[in-house]
Structure 1
Amino acid sequence: MTILDTAPAPSANRPSPRARRGWSPRRRRDFLVFLAFAAPNLLLIAVFTYLPLINNIYYSTLDWTLGSAEATVVGLGNYLTFFTSADAPRVLGTTALFTACTVGGSMLLGLLVALALNAKVRGTTFARAAVFAPYVLSGVGVGLVWLFIFDPGYGVLSWILRAFGATSPEWINDPQLALVMVIVVYVWKNLGYCAVVFLAGLQSLPGDVMEAAALDGAGGVRRFLAISLPLLSPTTFFLLITTMLSSLQAFDLIRIMTPLGNGTSTLIYEAYLQAFGAYNRAGYSAAISVVLFAILLLVTVLQLRFVEKKVHYA
Structure 2
Amino acid sequence: MRLKEKTRENLAGYLFILPNLLGFSMFILFPLLFSLVLIFTNWDYLQGLKGLVFIGLDNVKRLIHDETVFLSLKHNVIFSVISVPAAMGIGLLLASLLNKHVYLKESIRTLIFLPYMSSLVAIAVVWRVMYNSSEGPINAVLRAIGISNPPGWLASPSWALISIIIMTVWTYIGYAMILYMAGLQGISKEIYEAASIDGASATKQFTSITLQMLKPTSFLIAVTLINASLQVFPSVQVMTNGGPLQSTTVLGLYIYSQAFELNQMSYSATVSWLLFLVIFLVTIVQWRTQKKWQDQY
Q: Say yes or no: TM over 0.5.
A: yes
What are the ranges of 5 or more consecutive residues in structure 1 without an aligned counterpart?
1-19
Deviation at 1:194, TM superposition (A): 0.5
> Which aligned pairs between 1:294-313 and structure 2 lie closer than 5 A?
294-313=277-296
Q: 2:149 and 2:112 mapped to 1: Cα distance? A: 31
Q: Which amino acid aligns with 1:83?
A: I
- Partner SS for 1:300: helix
1:174-193 CA distances to partner (integer Å, 9 max, x unpaired)?
A: 22311001000001011100
Comparing 178-187 with 53-62, which one deviates more in the overlay? 53-62
Deviation at 1:204, TM superposition (A): 0.8
- Partner SS for 2:154: coil
Deviation at 1:31, TM superposition (A): 3.7
Aligned residue number for residue 214 of structure 1: 196
Aligned residue number for residue 203 of structure 1: 185
RMSD: 2.1
Q: 2:60 and 2:171 mapped to 1: Cα distance? A: 34
Residue of structure 2 aligned with 1:142, choices 106, 112, 123: 123
Aligned residue number for residue 253 of structure 2: 269
Q: Which amino acid aligns with 1:293?
A: F
1:190 corresponds to 2:172? yes
Query: Contact 1:133–1:192 (CA<8 Å) still a contact in 2?
Result: yes
Q: 1:149 and 1:195 mapped to 2: Cα distance? A: 25
Extract structure 1 runs of 4+ deviating beyond 6 A. none
Q: 2:85 and 2:147 mapped to 1: Cα distance? A: 34
- Partner SS for 2:88: helix
Name the TM-score, length of structure 2 as normaliser. 0.90
Deviation at 1:165, TM superposition (A): 5.5
1:197-224 CA distances to partner (integer Å, 9 max, x unpaired)?
A: 0110011112222221122111211111
Q: 2:74 and 2:54 mapped to 1: Cα distance? A: 29
- Partner SS for 1:176: coil
Q: 2:253 and 2:207 mapped to 1: Cα distance? A: 39
Structure 1 residues 150, 218: closer, same or farther in 2, change over 3 A?
same
Q: 1:32 and 1:115 mapped to 2: Cα distance? A: 51
Aligned residue number for residue 111 of structure 1: 92
Query: Contact 1:261–1:269 (CA<8 Å) still a contact in 2?
Result: no
Q: How many residues align?
A: 292
Aligned residue number for residue 6 of structure 1: none
Q: 1:313 and 1:41 mapped to 2: Cα distance? A: 35
Query: Contact 1:274–1:282 (CA<8 Å) still a contact in 2?
Result: yes
Larger Rg, first or second structure (1 or 2):
1
Aligned residue number for residue 121 of structure 1: 102
Q: 1:24 and 1:200 mapped to 2: Cα distance? A: 48
Structure 1 residues 241, 30: closer, same or farther in 2, change over 3 A?
farther
Q: 1:29 and 1:222 mapped to 2: Cα distance? A: 61
Structure 1 residues 84, 166: closer, same or farther in 2, change over 3 A?
same
1:101-154 CA distances to partner (integer Å, 9 max, x unpaired)?
A: 111111111111111111112211111001100001111110011111101122
1:87 corresponds to 2:71? no
Query: Contact 2:216–2:293 (CA<8 Å) still a contact in 1?
Result: no
Deviation at 1:74, TM superposition (A): 1.9
Residue of structure 2 aligned with 1:289, choices 262, 266, 272: 272
Q: 2:154 and 2:52 mapped to 1: Cα distance? A: 37
Deviation at 1:276, TM superposition (A): 2.2
Deviation at 1:313, TM superposition (A): 2.9
Higher helix share: 2
Q: Which amino acid aligns with 2:252?
A: I
Query: Contact 2:241–2:253 (CA<8 Å) still a contact in 1?
Result: no
Name the TM-score, length of structure 1 as normaliser. 0.86
Deviation at 1:62, TM superposition (A): 1.9
Q: Which amino acid aligns with 1:227?
A: I
1:49 corresponds to 2:32? no
What are the ranges of 5 or more consecutive residues in structure 2 without an aligned counterpart?
none
Query: Contact 2:69–2:251 (CA<8 Å) still a contact in 1?
Result: no
Deviation at 1:250, TM superposition (A): 1.4
